[in-house]
Amino acid sequence: MIITTELILSILASTLRRAVPLLLASLGGTFSMRAGVIDLGLEGMMLAGAFFGVLGASITGSAWMGLLIGIIFGIIFSLVHGVLHVKYKVNGSISGMVVNLLAAAVTPLVLTGYFGTTGKSPMVESFTNPKWEWLDNIPFIGPVLGGQNILFYLSIVLVIVSWIFLYKSKFGLRMRMVGENPEAASAVGLNVRAYKYFGVLISGAYAGLAGVYLSLGQMNLFVEEMTAGRGYIAVVINAFGRFNPIGSFLGSLFFGFFDAVQTVFQSFLPSQLVMMTPYVITIIVIIFGLKGGKAPAGTGKHIEN
């Protein structure tokens, strides 16, 4: 195989494209974990966002309306997690898995019910890449950034906004306090449950957006189980990035890179072995890469009524 500048640039562009859904979902996970609620439901919220985004775009004929509807359904699915865990005090891992299984069951049901198809939806309006000639003409940067769609730029903005919110705002500080020590937060008069709900719902919005990126950003239709475990990988990225938006950004680039290079190997290795790589990398990171990083101390803890 010959390594050319072109190949490297295309891998870099592909790295960014594949990092976006991971980044958005793990940013969402950050909010959830910082409020002390485990973020195991990201996969399901993402799948819901991907499907209902397509449904919304199909009904309204607009990708932006699809995006809005995808986010709303991400939030609705996160509410299931929130209500079960925060209100009914169900183990957060179980309630997270419930969201994943619920989305895996509901999306094909509605797919068959509404579109009358199985496996995938018909094609709908999707996001197109913005045409910025000045950007395309810059050497090296042009070919890498030129291939990105508008949701990529949005996700970069969201990294900064999330970081400022968590570390520079009073509200973010209080939310982190709830995540670290709900008892103490409650003692100083914070509404612990409200903060937990807030964290979970924001994670649903981000994960919904991540799903929309998969179905309306990278493609123009919904394919059954199209999230393919990205929500779980996002959980790992979130921990890998020490529950910090900047860490999530770097972690997503790392995983996005491995996702991008695997396509290079597809030409001379059996596809199944190539498709295994992101999961193998994730397992290696779980076992060797998470040492020393601790989840917020109050994760899964409830306050007495």
Residues that bind another protein (CB under 8 A): 40, 80, 84, 88, 90-91, 93-95, 97-98, 101-102, 104-106, 108-109, 112-113, 116, 118, 228-229, 232-233, 235-236, 270, 272-273, 275-276, 279-280, 282-283, 286-288, 290-291
Smallest distance, Å, CB 65 to another protein? 22
Over its C-alpha atoms, the chain yields an Rg (Å, rounded) of 19
Smallest distance, Å, CB 190 to another protein? 25
Smallest distance, Å, CB 236 to another protein? 6
- Would you say 103 or 177 has its CB closer to another protein? 103
Contact 303, 191 (CB under 8 A): no
Give the residue carrying structure tokens 């810059």: 138
Smallest distance, Å, CB 114 to another protein? 10
- Would you say 160 or 280 has its CB closer to another protein? 280
Smallest distance, Å, CB 283 to another protein? 5
- Would you say 102 or 158 has its CB closer to another protein? 102
- Would you say 161 or 273 has its CB closer to another protein? 273
Q: Which residues have a Cβ under 8 Å from the Cβ of 98 and sit 6 or more positions away?
A: 41, 80, 81, 84, 90
Smallest distance, Å, CB 278 to another protein? 8
Contact 298, 275 (CB under 8 A): no
- Would you say 5 or 271 has its CB closer to another protein? 271
- Would you say 19 or 235 has its CB closer to another protein? 235
Of 213, 278, 185, nearest in space to 24 by CA: 213
Q: For residues 42 and 149, what is the distance between their CA atoms, to the nearest angstrom?
A: 23
Write the CA distances from 32 to 44, 53, 248, 292, integer angstroms. 14, 22, 13, 20
Smallest distance, Å, CB 38 to another protein? 9
- Would you say 138 or 283 has its CB closer to another protein? 283
